[in-house]
Structure 1
Amino acid sequence: MPPRPPSSRTSKAPPDAAAKPVVATGTEQRSGVGIVGRERLLSRLVEARRLRCIVITGPAGSGKSTLVAAWRQSIVPLGFDLAWFSATAKDDTPARFIQGLLASVARIDPVLVQEAARLADTDADPNEDADATERLAISLVRGIAAHPRDLALVIDDLHHLRHPAIHEALQWLLDYAPPNLHLVFASRGSPSLSFDRLRSQSQTLEFNGRDLRFTLAETGQFLKAQLEDIDTRTIRTLHELSDGWVAGLRIFTTDWKKKQPDAGRPAQGEPFARVSTRDAQAFTQFFEDEVLSLLSPEEVHTLVRVAPCRRCCASLCAALVDAPEATTSMTALLARLHRDDLFVGPVEGQPPETWYRLHPLLRETLLARFAALNEATRQAVHGRAFAWFREAGLFEDAVRHAVRSGQPDQAAALVEQCAHSLIVRGERRELVGLLRQLPPKQLDGSLKLRLLAARMQLFERDLVACASTLDSVAPDVPTVDSANRFMLATLRAALAVQGDDLDAALATLPQLLDIPPDADALTIGGRNNILSWLYTQQGDYEKARRVLLDAPPLMVDGAPLLATAAGSLHGRNLVGMSYAMEGKMTQAERIFRAVAAEAEQGGKACADAYYLAIALLGDVLYELNDARQARALLEGKLDMLERIAIPDALLRIYRVLAAANWQAGSQAEAFAQLERLEAYAMQHKLDRVLAHSLGDQVHLRLLTGELMAAEALLARLDALHARHAASTLQMPWEISEVTQRAHIRLAATLGDIESAATQLASLIAQCEARGRQRTVAHLLMKSAAIDVQRGRDASAREKLIDALRRGHRLGLLRSLVDADPKARQMMAELAQAEALDPVLAFYVERLVAARAPRDAPTTAPEAGAQGAMPAELKAFSEREIEMLRLLAQAMPNKKIARALGLSPETVKWYLSRIYGKLRVSGRDEAVARVRDFGWDMDASRGGEA
């Protein structure tokens, strides 16, 4: 228990002893919570000092008394007096209670209780006469009303006072209290008093156990004061174990210090969190004294059998003790434990029952008792839990208890049974948890479970593990097992899609085309969506759409298959993607908006479809010249998109954000997005994605006049292209296209117009043959600009008109405007020179009105302009060097973002890269490491303002 003010009775303390707050000093301070400021609570208490009533409830050791003592120190200087009465079980008679209460108030001024004391001596026994209790309360109220100062009357440990006459006396005090009397109740359970009228008048402030818990920051402050050297991960672990319970943290630290020779510091390589709570006898003793001693043997028996469950409700408790008829009594027990703050609290659960959980440390104590039961008893309890959770449809708990009850085969069968339902509901992480609970024997003995494991590895983006699992499963699938062979092929194709490996996906095509009659709906849906993606990548857009539009509806558990990567929402996204790839932006936008709206309504189950829809919609919005909305849609969701989007979608996301930021004049942010795309591609070995990142960086470097940087990037792109040049597979063609476009831009920048024109003609023909109409329109506009430079005006006009007609038919805007810095000027001159068809003329007006990109933003100063940069920092980019400079100035992330024109999220991403390269864990270490290299970051800033 935290230290508390002494009792108000004369026999226990001198007159002003009770009035003094507890000041935690010396050894007392180390056992109290006074070492942690509770400002978030104290400020509210001080603001509420003039309210009629303050009620603080919480379990033993939650810091109630210490908080009130600290509050006293704050209000006494504000003109308040404070009387304190600490109740014990011996005070639970009206006579003793009144004697102690009057004594505590008399310490402020004996005059306050003169009339009440006279009545207590001469009036009827308050044990027998309710009127006498009322008269005493009124007399005390009248005495306090005459007091010139405000008086706070604290009744601490109110839970010891259960006599009805005492509660009646306190109720009279509440009802008759004058404006200068403020009552404070501290109790382990909810007081049996009526506060409804005061609540309706906003005259109460109430704190409960949840409010009294330490926050994570307060836990850290406490643990660092006690243990000094303790890492963040351990602080979080102990915070979760203790649930922010003050006394629990104190017991942890005290117990640890007793076991450690070095002043309580954790031993090398053995973090504090590894101490088993079951080894701490202090916990057992605490809960024995403060909780279990208050319960009957039957109630303790129940809690011991409830402990193996992470949560419980009344009917589950009844099942665990093998007394299903006892649900009503269990409801009363759980409600009482919660009401009395005996470390049992409500949690969210399935209605109609109320769900509860034991405090983690009480549960550990009870689990120690459970472990002492014989094995047959333990398995019987787990068996009853398994049956109850299975019947309730709570599969994760059911599987865990099935394994522990000695029924692993039942657990494996349950996982097989519920897997598809969990996937469709978006509960894939729950399914991952179920698979991890199964013993290896059961997992390895089932083809279906092994294939499920591969599917979940795919979900978690563990592509290497997924490939290994599929390779190990393949030899064990019988030739006649068509359904599992079809599932294996579909998973291999999905793995190829996640790896952006079009050729590997195409290798599965013959197997995907042959659907066995016993294939399940999830596999068929996944197959349909993969086929659509394959055909889209090959430029066969109509075929890609027909695969999905002509497929019959798929059902799982009697409901349409909408969610997951196999669902129809995902398929509609792919239909929209085929339109976008073809260049038909209007159709694509309608589809993506509709899917996003429907998926958002579907919640967690439809998250994949939602994020894919907004990723693809961002690309369309930029194309339709709504760069601001594209950025707003995507920027705050990058972390989630990286976790669940396919590489093809992420490619579009980062290219769109780069282009949108460039258009807005944010050069640094544009390069940052492309560098993030580059890092993502290199991490996952996605050469096609890497090619696009390098190609776009070449383009932007040329626009800023950084010719050497552009040529260095192009050399990397050429090397990438050379690695794939001899291949006859699909992916190298797109890398080739990107490489050719980069060379065309460089040739045009260098003034080699004829070479640029020749390369453009060849590339346009290749893209035309592959049905990439959006790209063709873009290249035709670029070719028209080249022809203007060549003096071939007729050819330029012909290509310009062709590009405009294609662009209008497809609904393109930015593809034409961004094709060349002179594109808008060319279109404006065309509109002035001749009378265009009204429709085409209107389209040209829209294009000319589109905001022009910033073709030459101011470049950032070169890194190391004056300060010599050490060799260790040569691997850092210009932007990372600038970030290090600002770090050295102790700038917070938001200020760095403003200084560099980046988003805070991008700053975090850069800092993580910097820390990784320096092999440090934070800011201060990073700055120190760079200074260790001998680089003067301040000097290197040169003459910058």
Structure 2
Amino acid sequence: MVLVPQAKIAVPRLPPGFVERAALRADLDPAAPADVVLVCAPAGYGKTLLLADWARSSTLTDTAWVTVDRDDNDPGRLWAAVVAALATCPSVPSAGEPHIGADQRRAPDPDQLAESLLALPRPVHLVLDDVHELVEPQVLRALARFLTIMPSTVRLVLASRLDPPLSLPRLRLAGRLRELRAAQMAFTPDQAGALLAGAGLELSRPQVDVLHRRTGGWPAGLRLAALGLAESADREAFLTQFSGDDRSVADYLIGEILSDLPADVQEFLRVISISDPVPVGLAAELTGRDAAGGVLDALERQTSLVTATGPGRDAYQVQELLRTHLLAELRRLGVRRTADLHGAAARWWAAQDQPVDALEHATRSGDTPLVAELLHRFAVRLVLAGDHGPLRRAMTTIGAPATTSDPTLALASALTHLEAGELSAAQSDLRRGRRSSPADGGADLAVLRAVADQLAAVPSGPVPATVAELEVLSAEPELEALARLTRGSSQLGHHDLVGAGTELRAALALSRRHAFDYLAMQCLALLGVVAGTTGDMRAMRTASGQALDIAADHGWESTQWSGAASAMTSYTALLRADPTVAEHRSAEALLGGTVAWSPALRYVLRAVHGAAVFDLGDRAAGLAELQQARSEFGDHDGSEEQCAAAAMLEFRAAQLLGHSVATRTVLTWLAEHLGDVGEAAVMRAWTDAAAGRHEHARALLRPVLDGPVATVLPHTVVDAWLIETSIALTAGERPAARRALLSALTAAELIDAVRPFAHAGPGVREMLVHQRGSFGASDAFVDRALAAGAGRGHEEALLSERELTVLELLPSLLSLDEIAADIIVSVNTVKSHVRSIYSKLGVSSRRLAVLTARERGLLGSSVH
């Protein structure tokens, strides 16, 4: 009779700090017809603890547990342990124990055991832990036999580091097999945080995320990291350096994982560790094994040390800590060999037309000629795709001497510096490129040089033909796209909006066709400028929004182009009278900006933010920010549109607050920067109208409204028509006022400019209220304009209780005499209350008072 130690058949205890995994535990629950469960993952994934927790939490089904070891390669010992484990189950009657083993002096064979288990009154779970210890053919045949004839009263659960040779495909096909693999066993970030907290470590979520990423959620790796962190005086340094080369991790990997693998498989894994992930073709190239795909597939199925990725499952990832350990081991075995492998990987990726991976491996190889060769081929494409990190690292590898003697590399380096906002470095590159450039370098070099020169605006030396003058564009799509972008930008600067739009749309089409995402963001941002300059604010908002979407997808929010798109979307939100959105977007952009941003971009964003703060009610703070933004901008260069927009915002805020000195200051600043533009005339007309000099104001407005004096901003005309409306109302010219108001509405609706109405005088607002419903197709826009003006009048004091009583009766059809009789006061008292209500609400009529009171929540919204 074989004696079985009690520890071998006892369900293991759960250690302190055990992290429950309810979802995985639920996956283990019975689901017919899957009567076999395989939990397969490398060492340290918590297979034993998961099954122990499941067994202890199961109240409806008994669990028989066997911890398999190497001695169980003797069939007699294995089946004796199984019998002993089953005998511990309450559902197995003690009187029936002899039926489990036909002869207690020797262990049963699989057929006898299966027959005996038919007599069990209810099903049991039989867990065989560490099945990978079974390697002898005899015992494996016996286990396979048992699987074939196993009765329905038993559900077999196998835990193993490797796939056991038990005809798993047949079990899958029959629907009898349920599997849990390393990918499912890996800890989530939340579970990793729970494990680390259970170890007494108080880590921030970003720190937990770093460890989770480094370990790939491998529980043993997280526990080893916890031990190291507990002993480390510098947690940040530990987190930065923690890898598979850490001594404790390396010892575990060697002792528990790699020692189980054949030497050739270990070498295979070492070689492919230089790439993450590693495509099958690259694995074959690096290892010289045509059947590398089969090796990787077998490793995934049998060990879970690698995981197939990608839609075609044609690339594999090695478990992260294992990969970093193998890579460190590879370097120790020979730095030159590691460099050669990276060089081979670079050439393979280049052949696949994958520039990022090719350059990264070439840079790691230290092979300067190879890096230069790849830069010649891929640099411009990487600039346009936005892959600036690999490009900069490659440029650093080849160093300044290479750019000195190679004009193409010098120009590519210049473009890289320009995108980073490093104008001085870019201009140095351009000077080197000019000195080393041959007289006739071909169309490609000419395009590249013209683009770089134009973008950097180099003042010194002879300037070659600009892109706009080049008749023949390069046949290379990246150079053609870059040339069209630059040509469009140049035409935009010269106010050729039609030509700019044509070139930029062509560049955008090329960028989308060839996945030049960074170029697409640039094109969309510039198309937003084109649309805004022509007055198409909706198109401006759409193009800028698409640019921001690309920036968000790629993490380019801090770039100049994303900042420009943010400025445009913020400004259009402000024009739509949505200051909340304008304030949020401009603040977010300013917070994420970099020193590479132009002063003009910062000025516009700060001006929009200040105007939004003003519109939201904090008028003094809003004006102060507008003034500070202009002061910091100083004498820097900015486009006409940028200067005019910011100046108009500041002027109107100062005027509404009655700061005459501030209005004169900003008017003088605008005149110095842009001359006698339409915006300056409108500013003067605002000042004259406010001072009662109506005829002089009209004289200033007439050239703007009739066309001889052009405005920089399309919505300035709306402001001009609204000033004319107010003047006409004051003069009692109601037909002329209506015509002016209709012109303002027509111009505003086309460009979605609601904000001018929010700050228009009470006369304009009253006219909109009185004539609501008579504007035809513009009535919906009138409703938006009135809603935008709600709450933007005078800073009213609280209404008294008696004034509120009178206000509640104003929506009725009662006359003031009838209201006086209703509340038992004199009609003169009612008239005094009504005048006070008008003053506090900033209105001049009964109808407008009712509308404003409803908008401010002082009255219900029902119609009387």
TM-score (norm 2): 0.72
Measure how far apart 1:382 and its partner are.
4.4
Task: Please point out which of 206, 212, 217 is paired with 2:179.
Answer: 206
Q: Which of 175, 179, 195 is residue 222 of structure 1 equivalent to?
A: 195
2:375 to 410, 415, 434: 415
Q: Is 1:19 the equivalent of 2:3?
A: no
3-state DSSP of counterpart to 1:84: strand
Match of 1:21, SS? coil
Deviation sequence 1:859-901 (CA, Å, 0-9, x none): 9x9xxxxxxxxxxxxxxxxxxxxxxxxxxxxxxxxxxxxxxxx
Equivalent residue number for residue 470 of structure 2: 515
Letter in structure 2 aligned against 1:582: T
Which amino acid in structure 1 is aligned with residue 111 of structure 2? E
Deviates more, 1:412-421 or 1:111-120: 111-120
Contact 2:210 2:239 in 1 (8 A): no
What amino acid maps onto 2:451 in structure 1?
T
Moved more, 386-395 or 239-248: 386-395
Q: How does 1:781-800 map to 2 (within 5 A)?
A: 781-788=721-728, 790-793=730-733, 795-800=736-741
Q: Deviations over 1:40-62 (max 9, x none)?
A: 43455469799744432111121
Q: Does the CA-based 8 Å contact 1:106-1:112 persist in structure 2?
A: no
**1:902-942 CA deviation, whole Å, 9 max, x = no partner?**
xxxxxxxxxxxxxxxxxxxxxxxxxxxxxxxxxxxxxxxxx
Counterpart for residue 333 of structure 1: 295
Shift of 1:84: 0.3
Distance 1:88 1:820, change over 3 A: same
Name 1:360's counterpart in structure 2: 320
**Aligned position for 1:143:** 119
**Deviation sequence 1:609-667 (CA, Å, 0-9, x none):** xx646369xxxxxxxxxxxxxxxx9999998666574544322212334565x55xxx7
- Kept in 1, the 8 Å contact 2:14–2:49? The answer is no
Alignment of 1:285-304 (within 5 A): 285-304=251-270
The structure 2 residue matched to 1:614, chosen from 532, 540, 546, is: 546
Deviation digits for residues 564-592 of structure 1 (CA, Å, limit 9, x no counterpart):
5656x975875675344322568x48xx9
Q: Secondary structure at the match of 2:9?
A: coil
Q: Deviations over 1:403-439 (max 9, x none)?
A: 5556320222023213345556665555456546656
Larger Rg: 2
- Deviation track 1:460-499 (CA, whole Å, cap 9, x = no partner) reads xx31x35423334325423747865764553465579xxx
Q: Is the partner of 1:271 in helix, strand or coil?
A: helix
- Partners in 2 of 1:726 and 1:97 — Cα distance? 85
2:858 matched to which residue of 1? Answer: none
User: What aligned pairs does 1:145-184 form with structure 2 within 5 A after superposition?
Assistant: 146-147=121-122, 151-162=124-135, 163=137, 164-172=140-148, 174=150, 176-178=151-153, 181-184=154-157
Aligned length: 751
Instruction: Summarize the alignment of residues 464-503 of structure 1 with structure 2, pairs less than 5 Å apart.
Output: 465-478=422-435, 480=439, 487=448, 490-491=451-452, 494=455
Is the Cα contact below 8 Å between 1:658 and 1:674 reproduced in 2?
A: no
CA–CA distance in 1 between the matches of 2:489 and 2:431? 24
Native 8 Å contact 2:570 2:608 kept in 1: no
Q: Secondary structure at the match of 1:155?
A: strand
Per the alignment, residue 934 of structure 1 pairs with none
Quick one: distance in 2 between partners of 1:452 and 1:83? 69
* Whole-angstrom CA distance in 1 between matches of 2:197 and 2:753: 59
Counterpart Cα distance in 1 of 2:743 and 2:171:
79
CA distance in 2, matches of 1:743, 1:781: 20
- Cα-to-partner distance string for 1:38-86 (whole Å, 9 max, x where unaligned): 34434554697997444321111211001111222322xx244221011
Q: Does 1:814 align with 2:754?
A: yes
* TM-score, normalised relative to structure 1: 0.66
Q: Which residue of 2 aligns with 1:655?
A: 571
What is the identity, as a one-letter code, of the residue corresponding to 2:330? F
Instruction: Measure, in 1, the Cα distance between the counterparts of 2:593 and 2:301.
Output: 56
Match of 2:63 among 60, 68, 82: 82
Name the CA distance, whole Å, in 1 between partners of 2:204 and 2:772: 68
Q: In the TM superposition, what is the alpha-carbon distance from 1:698 to its structure 2 partner?
A: 6.6
2:152 alignment partner AA: A
Of 786, 790, 793, the match for 1:852? 786
Distance 1:170 1:612, change over 3 A: farther
Q: Which residue of 1 aligns with 2:238?
A: 271
> What one-letter code is carried by the residue in structure 2 that aligns with 1:70?
D
The counterpart of 2:305, out of the listed 343, 367, 375, is 343
Residue 879 of structure 1 corresponds to none
CA distance, structure 1, for counterparts of residue 698 and residue 494 of structure 2? 21
Does the Cα contact within 8 Å between 1:157 and 1:186 map onto a contact in 2?
A: yes
- Whichever residue aligns with residue 166 of structure 1, its letter is A
The 5 A counterparts of 1:394-433 are: 394-402=354-362, 407-422=367-382, 431=391
Q: Which runs of 5+ in 1 are unaligned?
A: 1-7, 127-132, 258-262, 497-502, 594-610, 617-632, 834-840, 862-945
User: Residue 99 of structure 2 aligns with which residue?
Assistant: 115
1:249-648 equivalences under 5 Å are 249-254=222-227, 256=228, 264-267=231-234, 270-274=237-241, 277-278=244-245, 280=247, 282-321=248-287, 323=288, 326-328=289-291, 330-341=292-303, 343-348=305-310, 354-374=314-334, 377-378=337-338, 380-402=340-362, 407-422=367-382, 431=391, 434-435=394-395, 438=398, 442=402, 446-459=406-419, 462-463=420-421, 465-478=422-435, 480=439, 487=448, 490-491=451-452, 494=455, 511-515=466-470, 522-523=478-479, 525-533=481-489, 535-536=491-492, 539-545=495-501, 563-564=516-517, 574=526, 577-584=529-536, 588=539, 612=544, 614=546, 643=559, 645-648=561-564
- Identity over aligned pairs, percent: 19
Equivalent AA in structure 1 for residue 141 of structure 2: A
Aligned CA RMSD, in angstroms, stands at 5.0
Instruction: Give how far 1:306 is off.
Output: 2.9
Distance 1:382 1:680 in 2: 36
Aligned-residue offset at 1:375 = 5.6
Q: Which amino acid aligns with 1:327?
A: D
1:422 & 1:718 partners in 2: Cα distance?
Answer: 37
Of 86, 98, 117, 2:79 maps to 98
**Counterpart Cα distance in 2 of 1:48 and 1:750:** 85
Counterpart of 1:186 in structure 2 is 159
- What CA deviation, in whole Å up to 9, does each residue of 1:163-219 have, x standing for no partner? 442333442465x223xx433221223345567898799886532111211222333
Q: CA deviation at 1:143?
A: 3.1
CA contact (8 A) 2:339 2:365 kept: yes
Q: Which residues in structure 2 correspond to 1:829-868 (within 5 Å)?
A: 842-850=776-784, 852-857=786-791
Equivalent of 1:73 in 47, 53, 56:
56
Once residues 812 and 691 of structure 1 are traced to their aligned partners in structure 2, the CA distance between those partners, rounded to angstroms, is 23
Distance 1:239 1:473, change over 3 A: same
Query: Counterpart of 2:159 in 1: which secondary structure?
Result: strand
Question: Offset of 1:719 from its aligned partner?
Answer: 4.1
1:370 partner letter: L
Instruction: For residue 522 of structure 1, report the CA deviation from its aligned partner.
Output: 4.0
Per the TM alignment, residue 803 of structure 1 is displaced from its structure 2 partner at its CA by 3.3
User: Which moves more between the two structures, 407-416 or 354-363?
Assistant: 354-363
